[in-house]
Copies of this chain bind each other. A is one copy, B any other.
Amino acid sequence: MNSNKLIISGRVWINSSNQASLGKGKIKILEGIIKFGSLRQAALDMKMSYQQAWKIVNELNSDFENEVVILQRGGKDGGKAIVTDFGLQMLAFYNSLQKDFEKFLAKQSEKINKNFN
């Protein structure tokens, strides 16, 4: 007998041709950038070091064919960060992907518990 449920979980990524990936963590940074217009604020908000966030954004920009985030320093507010149209498209696709994935996981969870009870 096995009354305790088993659950299927998982994660998905969007990969460029050269293995670079856009997943949960990087998505969160993109959302932070959209929200704040600043990489520093985005990093601060998710309690990640600025250096780490900067490194991640640079990876995104160099690994994917198109630029994902534009970083500008100096100027009115000291500088700013902008998610490109390409970045926004990736974000939108990731969200739809995530939604479909959750359906997939729910179905599989149902299936495993039928199997094991």
Residues of A within 8 A of B (CB): 2, 4-17, 21, 65-66, 89, 93, 97, 100-101, 104-105, 108, 112, 115-116
Which residue of the partner chain, among B8, B65, B100, B104, contacts A13 with CB atoms under 8 Å? B8
Complex contact B66–A93 (CB within 8 A): no
Nearest B residue (CB) for A21: B9
Number of copies of chain A assembled together: 2
Q: How far is the CB of A1 from chain B (nearest CB, A)?
A: 9
CB contacts (< 8 Å) of A21 on chain B: these are 9
Complex contact A15–B11 (CB within 8 A): no
Complex contact B15–A12 (CB within 8 A): no
The contact sample of 16 A-B pairs, CB cut-off 8 A, is A6-B15, A6-B17, A7-B15, A7-B16, A7-B17, A8-B13, A8-B15, A8-B97, A9-B15, A10-B13, A11-B11, A12-B105, A93-B112, A93-B115, A97-B108, A100-B108
Complex contact B9–A10 (CB within 8 A): no
